[in-house]
Amino acid sequence: MLLAVAREGRYTGAAERLRVNHTTIARRIDALERSLGGRVLVRGAAGWVLTPLGEHAVAAAEEVERAMRGLSPDEPALAGVVRLSATDGFSGFIASPAVAALRERHPGVSLEIVAATRRAAAQRVGVDLEVVVGRPHVHRAEATHLGDYVLGLYASRTLLERRGAPASVDGLAGEPLVYFIESMLQVDALDTARRSTRRMVDAVSSTNVYVHVDATRAGAGYGLLPAFLADRHDDLVRIFPDEIEERLPYWLVCRPEALRQPTAVAFIAALRGRMAEVSDALLGRPSPAG
């Protein structure tokens, strides 16, 4: 049970994972501390954290867990829930295919996604992993660069036929823009990305990037869109690609406890695999097959 609390950071989370009452978890931890003669957990800002004694106890428990998995080679090696907070586009294009690939080998693994475009949280309560746009400044967490993607400016073919294509970037002044709601945008990198379109006029604004794509396809305006989403639609045309291209980084933020979860570690590997698989699409490059 100590292993479950170390991975979840909460008694209630460990209880859900083990399907027992959280008071049972508390009693077992109390008994373990009496047996070992010291504290194994202390309360931190974002949940329970291990003491040095707890670190030794968890290391021993992980050795036992690995040995038990080795005794049952025919059983699924991994099972459990990974909780992820990520942007809409990343959730759909990267995380969902990644967990699908992981579940082919480990059907006991499941993924819960909280779709949000925001800065890295100060306290990662309720999620194991976060993916944010822009380099995060975090404490008591591991942050690693996953890869980059690009934003480009797109228009529907019908919009270009109706209004005519602008002759230059300067000609975009006063034209309708589809992008995030400026007053609600919490991510500096996404706000900075708007620099090439500052003289355009907001036409449709949304916190959801899939709304941006659909509104652009409907002809509501020029969309500042992720290439990996827009390039899949033949009715969208990218304009001024050499002059309007914003390259943005995806960063992964992990609770230290999450890195003790074999399911979370496997899912991170699956995310990296998916990022490598679609790197050309993320950067708006034609695929080798194309």
Please answer whether residues 132 and 187 qualify as being in contact, where contact means their C-beta atoms are separated by less than 8 angstroms.
yes
What per-residue confidence (pLDDT) applies to 290? 46
Assigned CATH topology for domain 2-71:
Arc Repressor Mutant, subunit A (1.10.10)
Chunked into runs of 10 residues, the chain (290 residues) has average pLDDT values of 73 74 81 80 76 77 60 64 93 96 92 82 68 83 90 96 92 95 85 90 95 97 97 96 95 82 90 94 76
Instruction: Report pTM.
Output: 0.74
CA nearest neighbour of 156 among 227, 234, 208: 234
CA–CA separation, 233 vs 168, rounded Å?
23
CATH of domain 77-290: 3.40.190.290
What per-residue confidence (pLDDT) applies to 46? 62
* CA dihedral angle for residue 174, residue 176, residue 179, residue 183, rounded to 10 degrees: 60
Ranges of CATH 1.10.10.10 domains, the chain: 2-71
What per-residue confidence (pLDDT) applies to 258? 77
Please answer whether residues 176 and 153 qualify as being in contact, where contact means their C-beta atoms are separated by less than 8 angstroms.
no
Ranges of CATH 3.40.190.290 domains, the chain: 77-290
What per-residue confidence (pLDDT) applies to 62? 63
What per-residue confidence (pLDDT) applies to 79? 86
